[in-house]
Amino acid sequence: MSRRWFGYLAVATVFAIVCVLLANWQLSRKDEKAAEIALVESNYDRAPVPLGEVVPTREAFDDVHKWVPVTVTGTYLEEEQLLVRNRPRSGQPGFELLVPLQLGDGTVFIVDRGWLPTGNEHDLPDVIPSAPSGEVTVVARLKAGEPSLPGRSAAEGQIATVNLDDLQERLDVPLYTGAYGLLESETPRPTDEPPLPALKPVLDEGMHLSYAFQWFIFGILGFAFLAYAIREEYRHLNADDPDEQRRAAERERKRAAKRSDANVEDELLDGARSETVR
């Protein structure tokens, strides 16, 4: 083994380590998907509970309560509504419509009333439906706020992400910053046609397990290719060795036998085709 081959071995080892890391990353993604599916299955279709039962303070929110339906009663602050830009749905660009809901104690809970398609004007929907006026009881599914995206800008009346801390500063109200709600229903019902409701998450773990197996196989193939290259070089360097010559002759004899068998099969097939034509 020369220094060159030890270098090749080091490359194969590094390649295998990278493949293992990528495989483990795919397995962790699979576990994340499985945990998300478990939350949807356990929480999505539960009976609604009062907001205070699962979000006791404005800042509190436990991820185990994601998708839990809650009931909230208050008054929409429609003049403070905002559009969340860059929210495609089924391949069509659009917006999410956020409307603050002021509760009886003065606190505010953000309600995502649903999705609106981009209209004739590229940066706006054609119509923004009005929310119910007066006191309204909302059923909404809880979801944690989103992180800020540095460098993302938005037009007046729009935001790039649902960052609840930023919204609290923007609205200057005592806002629930632990979670917001995806609208399920409103009582009384709105007079305008409401935005499209949020879609139920797809219960699919994806191809992460398959991708993980592929990365493990790639790591093994790196060593297999190295072993093949070493064997071929060994044969080349020992071409004059009698034992190696005998082995080479035996390999050539077997290949010739296979070629002969293939030729016989081809002749038989050609004969059969000729008989069929006649």
Residue 80, pLDDT > 80, answer: yes
| pLDDT > 90 in the chain, percent | 53
Partners of 76 in the β-ladder:
101
Q: What distances in angstroms separate CA 144 from CA 61, 147, 177, one per listed residue?
A: 7, 10, 9
pTM above 0.85, yes or no: no
Do 71 and 50 meet the contact criterion of CB atoms below 8 Å apart? yes
Do 106 and 176 meet the contact criterion of CB atoms below 8 Å apart? no
Distance, CA of 131 to CA of 78 (rounded, Å): 7
Q: Is 82 exposed, middle or buried (0-12, 13-18, 19+ CB in 10 A)?
A: buried
Partners of 99 in the β-ladder:
111
Distance, CA of 45 to CA of 57 (rounded, Å): 24
Q: What distances in angstroms separate CA 222 from CA 5, 23, 233, one per listed residue?
A: 14, 15, 17
pLDDT (tens digit, 9 = 90+) per residue, 207-257? 888 999 999 999 999 888 888 887 777 766 665 556 655 665 666 666 666
Per-residue confidence (pLDDT) for residue 10, from 0 to 100: 87
Distance, CA of 190 to CA of 266 (rounded, Å): 77
User: Comparing 152 with 259, which gets the higher pLDDT?
Assistant: 152
- Dihedral sign, CA of 234, 239, 240, 241? positive
Do 138 and 188 meet the contact criterion of CB atoms below 8 Å apart? no
Nearest to 43 by CA among 62, 65, 60, 71: 65
What is the pLDDT confidence band of residue 6, given thresholds at 50, 70 and 90?
confident
Per-residue confidence (pLDDT) for residue 12, from 0 to 100: 87
Q: Is 57 exposed, middle or buried (0-12, 13-18, 19+ CB in 10 A)?
A: exposed
Q: Is 158 helix (H, G, I), strand (E, B) or coil?
A: strand
Strands 179-187, 108-117: pairing is: parallel
